């Protein structure tokens, strides 16, 4: 028997990887009928996983959102990512597919929930794994609800108020919808995830008779639901969405993020070494709550971001001096320009937070990447420096997320490796909690009813085994703590897609008006002169939110535009 439903824009062929649910783009048959086959039905939701966002440069021809904020500068000024900061961003050039891809995923989830429940797949009943396959099928509807909430979060984070619907809608209905207030959508996301945290499995490898072999441990879990709930609560409480500074929203955010910490740590999650947050096997790291698996092995990041002058390297997203300045001095825990920090202007990278060397490639570094026999030279005229076309304009190259073992030379046999994008990891939620409890209580030393202060939460992050930075002291003023917290968040979550949105939700756009490059000159005696160079960028407060794409407003006159656009 066939399902006599026309499915528009949904793929109907499914291939699952052996053990960890890779995400594939499947053949799209448009308005063909979908067979009532088990794999084709399950495949509708498996396909939605392939729409999950990640930031390996795939959207902007190599550019990451880091280069659209103060983390990085793209080496080529004609790259698409530069339109965020050069004045070219507009409703006609909306700079994102978030609107279209998110609503595509939401429509698939709505259709799946509306039209594909209640099937029994009688042809499978005699199979030994029928019970497990039916569990997989019934669980897929919970996954669909999570994924729908996830994509609504992405929409609100970017656009603020957006059309919100949880039923199948026709094209005419879509093109007449109005925008739902952001707080209402945040509330809906939080309520949905609260339910899902008790409904989704905790571990797909421990389902007993309900588990298929091999287990698909790349699907969303109850912990992912708690993480989405907590992140949504933090955004809902932030100044961009909470202009009246409603303390109840900060309390809700503190509670939700504390719940992630307590539930995850009670169930085997723990902070790892910082250096193990990326790499071919990071998806199995005990800190990872959910990662977006990339299908197969790739070298996209390396091709875009290995240094110019290294085989196959194209510079790409080059960390700014702003980013470098965020790394405190290891011995004192002070910023480079604080009195008594221990900073040496003639040796500016010595004694910094260990996360600096794990994240950024600097002049003089060796074995980057591993097969490179020459030290990195970012001083003018150096092997990897200006005036080479495409060489770093900032004096630095990106290391985090890149696999040093990849060799892009012509005769290499190790040109690719697995990369997984971090969606939720435990470290984020210690920082989220610290921010929320600080904003709720007004003090970094007041735990309120939650039992852990903001300082204590941050210090857990700083005490990683391969970091061991000095603790934040007690007694910090509110301003002093907030400055140190923002800095810590920039360092800990560097190049993970947070900074671009953090500065927006904090309404801290002034920090996006310029960046700093470091220009290095090698002197005759071999010493290096370091000179800061300020580069101005275009910023307007309308940029706290994305413009609604003009193409969407032409189809739907009920869509009002975000202020200023």
| Residue 561 DSSP one-character state | P
- Indicate the angle between helix axes 222-237 and 182-196, nearest 10 degrees: 160
Contacts of 472 (CB under 8 A, 6+ apart): 333, 444, 455, 458, 459, 462, 481, 484
Q: Please state the domain extents for the chain.
A: 31-56+95-267, 60-88+270-423+513-564, 424-512
Same fold for the pair 60-88+270-423+513-564 and 424-512: yes
pLDDT band, very low/low/confident/very high, at 554 (cuts 50, 70, 90):
very high
Mean pLDDT of the chain: 93
The number of angstroms, rounded, from the C-alpha of 395 to the middle of its chain's C-alpha atoms is 25
Torsional sign, CA 121, 125, 126, 132: positive
Give the residue-averaged pLDDT of 71-86: 97
Q: 424-512 adopts what CATH topology? A: 1.25.40
Instruction: For the domain made up of 31-56+95-267, give the CATH fold.
Output: 1.25.40
Sign of CA dihedral 27, 31, 32, 33: positive
Average of per-residue pLDDT across 309-324:
97
Per-residue pLDDT tens over the stretch 88-141: 999 999 999 999 999 999 999 999 999 999 999 999 999 999 999 999 999 999
Whole-number percent of the chain with pLDDT over 90 = 90
What is the structure's pLDDT at 36?
62
Backbone angles phi, psi at 503, to 5 degrees: -65, -30
Burial of 249 (0-12, 13-18, 19+ CB in 10 A): buried
C-alpha 324/C-alpha 260 separation (Å) is 30
On the question of pLDDT at 3 being above 80, the answer is no
Over residues 471-478, mean pLDDT: 98
pLDDT of residue 523: 97
Confidence (pTM): 0.94
β-strand pairing of 288-298 with 417-425: antiparallel
Dihedral angle sign, alpha carbons of residues 251, 253, 255, 258: negative
CATH number, domain 60-88+270-423+513-564: 1.25.40.390
Top-confidence residue, 498 or 34: 498
Instruction: Read off the pLDDT band of 361 (50, 70, 90).
Output: very high
- For residues 515-540, average pLDDT: 98
Please state the length of the chain: 565
pLDDT at 429 over 80: yes
Higher pLDDT: 6 or 214? It is 214
Contacts of 492 (CB under 8 A, 6+ apart): 355, 427, 431, 461
- The per-residue pLDDT for range 492-521, each reduced to its tens digit, is 999 999 999 999 999 999 999 999 999 999
């Amino acid at each position: 028997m066939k399902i006599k439903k026309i499915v528009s824009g949904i793929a109907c062929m499914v291939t699952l990887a052996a053990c960890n649910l890779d995400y594939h783009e499947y053949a799209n048959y448009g308005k063909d009928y979908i067979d009532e086959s088990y794999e084709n039905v399950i495949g509708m939701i498996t396909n939605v996983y392939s729409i999950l966002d990640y930031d390996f440069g795939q959207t902007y021809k190599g550019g990451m959102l880091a280069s659209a904020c103060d983390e990085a500068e793209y080496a080529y000024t004609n790259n698409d990512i530069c339109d965020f900061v050069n004045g070219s961003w507009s409703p006609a050039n909306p700079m994102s597919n978030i609107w279209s891809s998110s609503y595509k995923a939401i429509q698939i989830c709505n259709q799946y929930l509306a039209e594909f429940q209640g099937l029994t797949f009688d042809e499978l009943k005699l199979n030994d794994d029928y019970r497990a396959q039916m569990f997989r099928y019934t669980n897929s509807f919970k996954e669909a609800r999570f994924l729908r909430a996830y994509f609504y979060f992405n929409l609100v984070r970017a656009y603020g108020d957006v059309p919100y619907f949880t039923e199948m809608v026709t094209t005419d209905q879509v093109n007449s919808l109005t925008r739902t207030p952001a707080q209402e959508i945040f509330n809906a996301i939080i309520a949905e995830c609260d339910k899902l945290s008790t409904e989704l499995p905790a571990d797909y490898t421990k389902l007993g008779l309900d588990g298929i072999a091999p287990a698909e441990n790349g699907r969303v879990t109850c912990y992912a639901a708690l993480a989405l709930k907590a992140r949504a609560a933090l955004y809902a409480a932030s100044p961009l969405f909470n202009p009246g500074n409603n303390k109840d929203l900060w309390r809700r955010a503190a509670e939700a993020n504390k719940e992630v910490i307590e539930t995850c740590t009670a169930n085997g999650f723990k902070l790892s070494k910082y250096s193990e947050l990326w790499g071919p096997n990071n998806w199995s790291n005990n800190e990872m709550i959910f990662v977006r698996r990339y299908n197969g092995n790739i070298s996209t990041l390396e091709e875009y971001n290995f240094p110019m002058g290294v085989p196959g390297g194209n510079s790409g997203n080059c960390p700014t001096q702003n980013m470098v300045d965020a790394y405190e001095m290891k011995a004192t825990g002070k910023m480079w320009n604080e009195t008594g920090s221990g900073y040496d202007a003639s040796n500016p990278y010595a004694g910094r937070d260990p996360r600096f060397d794990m994240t950024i490639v600097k002049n003089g570094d060796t074995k980057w990447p591993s097969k490179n026999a020459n030290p990195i030279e970012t001083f003018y005229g150096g092997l990897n420096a200006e005036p080479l076309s495409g060489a770093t304009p900032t004096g630095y190259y990106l290391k985090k997320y890149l696999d040093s073992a990849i060799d892009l030379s012509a005769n290499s046999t190790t040109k690719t490796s697995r990369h997984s994008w971090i969606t939720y990891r435990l470290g984020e939620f210690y920082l989220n909690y610290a921010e929320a409890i600080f904003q709720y209580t007004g003090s970094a030393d007041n735990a309120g009813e939650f039992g852990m202060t903001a300082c204590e939460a941050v210090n857990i992050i700083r005490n990683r085994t391969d970091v061991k930075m000095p603790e934040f002291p007690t007694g910090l003023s509110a301003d002093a703590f907030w400055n140190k917290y923002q800095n810590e968040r920039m360092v800990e979550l560097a190049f993970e897609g947070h900074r671009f949105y953090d500065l927006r939700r904090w309404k801290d756009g002034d920090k996006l008006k310029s960046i700093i490059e470091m220009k290095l000159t090698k002197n005759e005696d071999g010493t290096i002169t370091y000179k800061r160079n300020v580069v101005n960028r275009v910023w307007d407060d309308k940029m706290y939110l994305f413009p609604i794409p003009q193409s969407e407003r032409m189809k739907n006159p009920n869509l009002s535009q975000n202020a200023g656009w």
